[in-house]
């Protein structure tokens, strides 16, 4: 089954069939981004499913997924393209040996190393890929300026070659954990959506879809506990991804109920900081488990 783009409801249905549960607002944003061929910019806390949406879209559309993982110091050579300097030197030496050196011949398409951004708009592609620009907030602010032409026109200008324009516009998903603000100029080129922590019913549906082996009553208690943890003063609140991982671990253990001993032994699947774990090692954990029932 491929993704049906007749309405937000059909998008929600088809994504849900692949274990990705969306609310009405996210279904609408995804539908409009696909129909209008606009980049979709997703912000939210870590673990709420921003990256996973791009992966599921690629699966649903049977499209290749091209991922650019952002990091501090990311530059154009790593993200878009760079010239194959060793081959250019060989070409230059060969030209000198023949006595017909032509600098223009050193800047050909076959001497260009295509990185994720350029791969996504490669006119040689026979169909649109899904381009995931992940954790944009980790890159330096200067890197955002590299993206403006791509997001607005789906093209990249290379001084030595000219402008390369997509024949099939890629489906672009950008994500940010909001460790810093992304510039308005970039946001204006995108449809924006904030993904919040889901409601109890939605998160339970996600866990049931992703971990079908987990008993329903145990899944409900696990989700209730994860949601209760999010109201605590923790360094890192557990995301939906952590709840799913925890549910999978509980299914592997074959436990029938969520008791304090099992919860303490597996708490590292939900919490990733030592101080948070220590905060819940005592009676406080028993209390939260009871409140989550």
* DSSP states along 100-123: ---GGGGS-GGGEEE-HHHHHT-T
189: nearest Cα among 50, 22, 41? 41
DSSP code for 239? -
pLDDT of residue 106: 81
Residue ranges, the chain, pLDDT below 70: 1, 95, 97-104
Question: Rounded distance, CA 4 to CA 10, Å?
Answer: 6
Last residue of one domain, picked from the residues 139, 172, 194: 194
- Return the SS3 of 35: helix
Q: What is the largest CA-CA distance in the chain?
A: 84
Number of C-beta neighbours around residue 59 at 10 A: 17
pLDDT of residue 147: 94
Q: What are phi and psi of 264, to 5 degrees?
A: -60, -40
pLDDT of residue 266: 95
Q: Is the dihedral of CA 248, 250, 253, 255 positive or negative?
A: negative
Shared domain check, 40 and 129: yes
Residue 3 in any domain: the answer is no
Shared domain check, 149 and 242: no
**Residue-wise pLDDT tens digits, 164-190:** 999 999 999 999 999 999 999 999 999
**Residue-wise pLDDT tens digits, 66-123:** 999 999 999 999 999 999 999 888 888 876 766 666 665 788 888 899 999 999 999 9
Residue 87 in any domain: the answer is no
35's CB contacts (< 8 A; 6+ apart) are: 5
pTM of the predicted model, to two decimals? Answer: 0.90
E strands, the chain, in order = 40-44, 65-69, 81-83, 112-114, 130-134, 155-158, 162-165, 171-176, 191-195
Last residue of one domain, picked from the residues 168, 194, 220: 194
Structure tokens at 265: 């032994």
40: nearest Cα among 165, 202, 170, 197? 170
- Count of structural domains, the chain: 2
Shared domain check, 50 and 135: yes
Which residue range(s) make up the domain with 229? 200-291
Shared domain check, 276 and 171: no
DSSP code for 124? T
Shared domain check, 144 and 69: yes
Shared domain check, 282 and 212: yes
pLDDT of residue 11: 96
Instruction: List C-alpha distances in Å: 38 to 3, 28, 87, 178, 225.
Output: 17, 13, 37, 21, 38
> How many whole angstroms from its chain centre is CA 249?
23
Instruction: List C-alpha distances in Å: 44 to 50, 65, 171.
Output: 8, 21, 20
């Amino acid at each position: 089954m491929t993704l049906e783009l007749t309405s937000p409801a059909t998008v929600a249905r088809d994504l849900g069939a692949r274990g990705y549960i969306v609310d009405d607002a996210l279904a609408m944003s995804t539908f409009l981004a696909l129909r209008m061929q606009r980049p979709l910019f997703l912000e939210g806390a870590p673990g709420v499913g921003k990256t996973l949406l791009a992966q599921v879209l690629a699966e649903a559309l049977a499209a290749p997924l091209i991922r650019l993982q952002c990091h501090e110091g990311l530059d154009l050579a790593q993200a878009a393209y760079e010239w194959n300097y060793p081959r250019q030197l060989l070409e230059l030496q060969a030209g000198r040996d023949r006595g017909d050196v032509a600098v223009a011949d050193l800047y050909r398409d076959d001497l260009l190393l295509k990185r994720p951004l350029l791969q996504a708009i490669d006119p040689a592609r026979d169909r649109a890929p899904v381009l995931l620009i992940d954790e944009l907030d980790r890159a330096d602010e200067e890197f955002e300026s590299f993206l403006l032409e791509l997001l607005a026109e789906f093209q990249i200008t290379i001084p030595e070659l000219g402008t390369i324009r997509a024949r099939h516009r890629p489906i672009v998903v950008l994500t940010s954990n909001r460790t810093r603000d992304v510039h308005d100029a970039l946001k204006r080129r995108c449809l924006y959506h904030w993904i919040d922590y889901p409601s109890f019913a939605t998160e339970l549906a996600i866990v049931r879809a992703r971990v079908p082996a987990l008993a329903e009553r145990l899944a409900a208690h696990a989700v209730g506990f994860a949601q209760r943890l999010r109201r605590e003063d923790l360094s890192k609140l557990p995301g939906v991804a952590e709840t799913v991982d925890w549910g999978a671990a509980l299914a592997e253990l074959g436990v029938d109920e969520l008791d304090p001993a099992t919860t303490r032994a597996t708490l590292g699947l939900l919490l990733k900081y030592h101080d948070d774990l220590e905060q819940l090692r005592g009676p406080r954990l028993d209390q939260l488990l009871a409140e989550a029932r």
